[in-house]
Amino acid sequence: MTQSEYILPFVSIIYSLSAADLLVSLHRLLINRAAVNWHFLPLLWALVCFLMIINGWWGMFHITATVQIENALDLLLLSLLPITTFFFSALALPHDVPREGLVMKRYFMDHVKPFYITLIAYLVIIPLVFSHLAATEINLQNILANSVLCLCLLAMVFVKNIKAHTVLALLVLLSMLGTLSDQGIVLSS
């Protein structure tokens, strides 16, 4: 059994839990739709999270094929990517719809701080994982882009304007759509 065959199922399970949490939350919202006062922003962020799950899981093929995990600390560092993905994905949509109903806009505003903080943690962890495990040169353009996004997310923790949050979500969505085709991987048969 290769190292990749050993590690990939572990991280795949965490990414799968992230996707399952999003889908189950969406399912509960749809089942209880009459009691939900809908707002598109949490759904938009849920789409971004789903794309990040797909992108992260796909990227693990490359990471596990090119990185040598030498100890449990390396595995822990690598697992921080899917773990933080799980946390921000779990915060994107509510898990329950109370009998008295649910206002999606209020849910988002009540959970914006932990949601954005876990996104920031993810963005900070990415270059740490690559620089430590892959021993690759850090791409300054990616670091700058991630830093700007982290600063925007941090600033938005204190902003109550839903339009500003929407603009940020749309920009992140466009960025994610642009990165989906960046990870070309040749799978050998």
**pLDDT tens digits for range 9-35:** 999 999 999 999 999 999 999 999 999
Dihedral angle, C-alpha 42, 154, 80, 66, nearest 10 ° = 100
CB neighbour class for 80 (10 Å; exposed up to 12, middle 13-18, buried from 19): middle
pLDDT of residue 116: 97
pLDDT of residue 186: 47
Rounded to an integer, the average pLDDT of 84-109 is 96
Hey, what amino acid is at 71? N
pLDDT of residue 189: 42
Of 64-78, 82-96, 127-141, minimum mean pLDDT range: 127-141
Look up the pTM and report it.
0.90
CA–CA distances in Å: residue 117 to residues 30, 85, 111, 166, 167: 27, 12, 10, 17, 18
**pLDDT tens digits for range 38-59:** 999 999 999 999 999 999 998 8
